[in-house]
Amino acid sequence: MIEKTVILKNRLGLHARAASHFVKLAKKFNSSISIIKDGVEINGKSILGILTLAANRGAELILKIDGNDEKEAMNSLENLIENKFGEEE
């Protein structure tokens, strides 16, 4: 299991489109993927779960990934967040 803290940099945070991108990418991996914000842990493959976090720009999230492809999943999801979900500023 690996964990990493990431900061949301895109202007609108984890809004519906960004959450959709995250879930779509997360579902490509076999590993279990969780997101933790302010002590609340949700399934990272659930768009509804992600939206309940109400994570805005600057929010600190912990990605927790466990499984045989956890490193690839972490790299891909971290890259998605670092690239602001493909959004322009």
Query: Dihedral of the CA atoms 58, 9, 71, 19 (nearest 10)?
Result: 90
Considering 4, 6, 9, 15, which one is annotated as catalytic? 15
Is 15 assigned a catalytic role? yes
Residue for token digits 């690839």?
72
Distance CA 6, CA 15 (A): 16
Known catalytic residues?
A: 15
